[in-house]
Amino acid sequence: MPFRLIFPESYNKRAARFLKRHPEAVTQYEKTLKLLELNPHHPSLRLHALSGKLAGLHSVSINMTYRITLELIVTESEIILVNVGDHEAVY
C-alpha cells in the first residue's frame, strides 16, 4: 500500500530554496520522494529515527550529502515532510 506524502507550505518553501541552490540534486530528490511514497523502509533511503531536539522525526537520505526529515505516521499511511537540506541544515 503506497504512502501519502504531505507537503506543508513550510516544507515547500524549504524545498524550493534547496532545489534552487542545488539543481544537480533535482533528479535524486524526485527519485527519493517516489521511493518514499512506495516504500519508506527501502534500504537505499536509510530511514532512521532521530533523537534529541528532533525526537519523533525520521530522516531519509537523498544521497550521501542531502537529507529529508519527516514525520512518519504509520497508522494512517501518511508521511509529512518537514525539512530538506544537507546534514547541518536539517539536524
Domain range summary for the chain, segments of one domain joined by +: 4-86
pTM: 0.88
Question: Per-residue pLDDT tens for 2-42?
Answer: 889 999 999 999 999 999 999 999 999 999 999 999 999 99
| Cα separation, 69 vs 83, whole angstroms | 5
- Give the closest residue to 29 by CA, choosing from 47, 50, 13, 45: 45
- Give the closest residue to 39 by CA, choosing from 13, 9, 74: 74
- Cell, residue 34: 517516489
Superfamily of domain 4-86: RelE-like (3.30.2310.20)
The answer on pLDDT for 76 being more than 80 is no
